[in-house]
Amino acid sequence: MIQNTIDLGRRNVWLASAMVAISIVFVGCGRSDSSASSSSTSSSSSASAQTSHEGQGDAVSSDPKFELALTLGGQAVSVPLQGLSIYQSRPGSEGKKAGPQGFELSGTNLVLAGTLPEGVELAPARKFQQLVGKQLQIHRSGGDPTFAVLSKLELPDGKVYRAESGTLSVERAFYSGDQYAGVSGTASVVLQQIKLGDTDDPNNKGDQKVGEPVTATGTFAAKVATYPFEKM
C-alpha cells in the first residue's frame, strides 16, 4: 500500500515536470511568433513612412533653427516661427478657375500672408519639393481663403510694421522622420511702420503710417503643413 502511494506520487511529479516543459516550449514559440509579427509590422510601417515622404525633399538628422532672421534698418531681428501653412483655394464658381493657393508664415508676433505662384497647386497634398525654386508672394493680407489675416510684425521694442509686399524664395525642402516636413530659403519684405488705430476713438480709428517703408532681407526655415478648403 505504501509502495503504491510512493509510485503514484512519483508519477504525479513526472507528469507535472512534463507539463512545465511543454508550457515552456509553447511560450517560447509564442514569443518567436510575436517577434516575427512585430518585425513584419515594423518593416511595413517603415515602408509606409518612406512612401509618405515622397516629394518632401531631404531627410534631416537634426532640427534646423525655425526662425525668420531679418536685417531691418541695420539691426538683426530674429523671430521664432511656428510654421508655414498652405491653404487650398476656394473652388471657382460657374466654370471659373480657382485663384492661387494662399499661405501664412506665422511666428512670435508675426504673420506674413500671401499666395503661391500661379499654377502651383500644392494643398492638400504634401509634396513640398514643388516649392523649391519658387517665390511665394507676400501681400498685405491673405492666407486662409475663408479668413484672411493681416501681414504684420511687432518687435520687442513695441514697434509695429505692416508688410506691404515681398517674397519668400524657397531653396530647400526637408523632413524629419514622421515628425515634420519643412522648407527654408530667403526672405525679402517691404515693411511700413504703423501706429495702431483705436476703434473706440472716432478721431483715430485707422492705423497711421510712421516714416517711410523699409526693405528687410534675410532667411527663414519653417515646418510646413497644408489644409483643404473648408466652408465656414
Confidence of residue 200 (pLDDT cuts 50, 70, 90): low
Which residues partner with 189 through β-bridges? 166, 216
Mean pLDDT calculated for residue range 153-163: 96
Distance, CA of 141 to CA of 174 (rounded, Å): 27
Quick check: 190 and 209 in contact, CB under 8 A? no
Q: What does the block give as the cell for 208? A: 497711421
- pTM reported for the whole predicted model: 0.76
Q: Is the pLDDT of residue 34 over 60?
A: no
Q: pLDDT-derived band of residue 28, with 50, 70 and 90 as boundaries?
A: very low
Quickly count helices (H) and strands (E) in the chain: 1, 13
Average pLDDT, the chain: 83
Percent over 90 (pLDDT), the chain:
68
Say if residue 46's pLDDT is above 50: no
pLDDT confidence tier of residue 93, bands split at 50, 70 and 90: confident
Model confidence band, residue 24 (pLDDT cutoffs 50, 70, 90): very low
pLDDT of residue 197: 80
Q: Report the distance separating Cα 174 and Cα 177, nearest Å.
A: 10
pLDDT at 196: 86
Please identify which residue in the block is written with the cell numbers 503504491: 4
Mean pLDDT of 32-44: 40
Model confidence at 165, pLDDT cuts 50, 70, 90, reads: very high
DSSP, residue by residue, 160-211: EEEEEEEEEEEEEEEEETTTEEEEEEEEEEEEEEEE---TT-TTS-S-EE-S
| Beta bridge pairs of residue 217 | 71, 188
Q: Is it the case that residue 175 has pLDDT exceeding 90?
A: yes
pLDDT at 163 over 70: yes
Among 42-56, 62-76, 85-99, 203-217, the range scoring the smallest mean pLDDT is 42-56
pLDDT at 164: 98
> Over the stretch 94-127, which tens digit does the pLDDT of each residue have?
778 889 999 999 999 999 999 999 999 999 999 9
Q: Would you state the pLDDT for residue 94? A: 76
